[in-house]
Amino acid sequence: MDFSNPITLQMIGGVIRSLLIAAGAGSALSGDQLTAGAGALAVLIGIAWSMASKRLAADAQHAAVVKAVTAVAADPSTAHDVIAASRARTL
């Protein structure tokens, strides 16, 4: 899966539209089946959202580390400042 793109309003709208279509097919499903299906879908959406947000956070942290290493490589005298700034962000 490619998690490089954040979840957009169009994606959320598509999920809601699919739920409404599934609810329209509710005549073929009992109330308990429809409730169980909606619950399962909510869990799957939650898992996907969590995975995507963690992936984006990890990418942001990786970019910060690369930036810090590049800065120190360019000017080793800034190592102390870079480490101090990094510690301040993690507290």
Reduced to 3 states (helix: H, G, I; strand: E, B; else coil), residue 6 is coil
* Percent of the chain whose pLDDT exceeds 90: 0
From first to last of the 91 residues of the chain, give the pLDDT tens digit: 555 666 677 777 787 777 777 766 656 667 787 788 778 888 888 888 888 888 888 888 888 778 878 877 788 777 777 777 777 765 5
Sign, CA torsion 16/17/23/29: negative
Rounded to 10 degrees, what is the CA torsion of 17, 19, 22, 27? -110
Residues 26/28/31/37 CA torsion (nearest 10 deg): -70
1 contacts 56 by C-beta, under 8 angstroms = no
Contacts of 15 (CB under 8 A, 6+ apart): 45
